[in-house]
Amino acid sequence: MRLLTRVGRRTAVAAVVALGITGGTLLAVGLADGGQPAAATPSEIPQPALPPEGAVLPVPYSDVHVTVPALDMDLPVLPLTPRGGAINPPTLTAAYWIEPYGDPVGSAEQAGNTLYLAAHSTGTGEYGFDPLMAADGGGSTLAAGDVVEVSTPEGTVRYTVERTKRYAKGELPGATEVWEASPGRLVLITCFQRGGGRASTENLVVFAES
């Protein structure tokens, strides 16, 4: 599989739907052409469930990784092309860059668009972007000045977190600050887990610049 593809220069216009479900949380991102948001509905998306307690999930191989050294987070990153207008990360143990927008690159100068990385979070602390959320469900573990690294065989780009923000479900499609094309920018998107087994009602977005 060719993991590094041509960098797109399209403006990203998207709608994000985060669905709280029994045993896990699904992140789905709907994409549209022509400048119009497209909503991803639950009927379009399979609902994953958490594995049985004690189960060990396989980790997909990739020579592209996203790491947050301060959180000891290291996830393989794989490309994900929208299917039927929606993006649904197929595993709990990897992050996915949204094609056809920004691709992981070997140096910041090669970036042609915002790089969007989406991953599940479950509230268990074990999978995907779980490390990005405080254990008490009160906020994000990332703050301005923290470093997120995206490594490829050609090199590693260090992104500095500028801010994090929580968006209510349905609010993200109109959040132009999220979807603007900005070469050298990294945006992480996941469901915001509030702890205590409560259903997710928000999305967590992390903004970072190289």
Q: Per mean pLDDT, which range of 46-55, 100-109, 156-165 is the poorest?
A: 46-55
Pick the most confident of 5-19, 34-48, 117-131: 117-131
Q: What is the pLDDT of residue 45?
A: 27
pTM score, two decimals?
A: 0.79
The CATH number covering residue 165 comes to 2.40.260.10
Note whether residue 104 is domain-resident.
yes
Does position 192 have pLDDT exceeding 80, yes or no?
no
- Cα distance between residue 68 and residue 52, in whole Å: 27
Q: How many domains does the chain have?
A: 1
Query: Domain span at residue 81?
Result: 14-48+60-209
Does position 23 have pLDDT exceeding 70, yes or no?
no
pLDDT band at 201 (very low <50, low <70, confident <90, very high): low
Note whether residue 3 is domain-resident.
no
Note whether residue 199 is domain-resident.
yes
Note whether residue 8 is domain-resident.
no
pLDDT band at 203 (very low <50, low <70, confident <90, very high): confident
List pLDDT tens digits, range 111-157: 999 999 999 888 788 889 999 988 776 789 999 999 999 999 999 99
Note whether residue 4 is domain-resident.
no
Note whether residue 151 is domain-resident.
yes
Note whether residue 6 is domain-resident.
no
Q: What is the pLDDT of residue 193?
A: 64
Q: What is the pLDDT of residue 84?
A: 64
Q: What is the pLDDT of residue 26?
A: 43
Note whether residue 102 is domain-resident.
yes
Average pLDDT over residues 37-58: 54
List pLDDT tens digits, range 72-112: 999 999 998 867 656 578 899 999 998 888 999 999 999 99
Average pLDDT, the chain: 76
